[in-house]
Amino acid sequence: MLSSSRSPRGTRTKVCGVTSVRDAELCIAEGVDAIGINLIASSARFVDEATAADIAKAIRGRAMSVGVVANMSAAAMLALRDRLALDCLQLHGDEPPEALAPLLPHAYKAIRVATREDVARADAFGGDYILADARHGAELGGTGHTFDWTLVATLAKTRKLTLAGGLTPENVAEAIRVVSPYCVDVASGVEIVGDPRRKDRAKIRAFVAASRGS
């Protein structure tokens, strides 16, 4: 899970909401460790199964493919993961702990955080890995909003935490300083302005450099 020989030092990087093989290749060329592929139909970054399978195939062995899903049954998620040959799944909806359990270790839960009570929900979910995103209304993610990073600093000491929510090349170094996460996850922060379906290579390069202190 999110392990890679590409990051022998520093924090791992994940770019989420990648919608094409072209953008996935840009991410890999800039040293990204994991690619998030959005399979939630309501998302502006949604891709169909054929596109998702193409991306997963293109990056296999070079970066981890992460399918982002929401509110599916465990059986449906297992079938989807196998059908698309994804490395793992990110459960980004309102799934209960028992939905995650059959998918382990090749899945993890995303929790939306605004309060300490939100963080406490992580204890109910199994596995070594967890993702913390900003809670902003009813939106599931990719909002570009941050949250109080200090809320998850303790969680990052006990779980392999992926930190998401409004990260950019400009603020990711500070986020890492505060939280010391296992991985940092970016979507809107590396997009071409006005186009949530395309990534900006210069922003990806700057994000990776900032996350690794170079």
Name the active-site residue from 87, 133, 185, 200. Answer: 133
Q: Which of 16, 27, 88, 183 is an active site residue?
A: 16
Task: Please work out, in degrees rounded to the nearest 5, the angle formed at the alpha carbon of residue 169 by the alpha carbons of 134 and 16.
Answer: 55
Is the Cβ–Cβ distance between 139 and 148 less than 8 Å? Answer: no
Is 183 known to be catalytic?
Answer: no
CA 101, 102, 106 angle in degrees (round to 5)?
85
C-alpha distances in angstroms, 187 versus 83, 128, 153?
A: 25, 23, 21
Cis omega (within 30 of 0) for bond into 181: no
Per the annotation, the verdict on 16 as an active-site residue is yes
Indicate which residues carry an active-site annotation. Answer: 16, 133
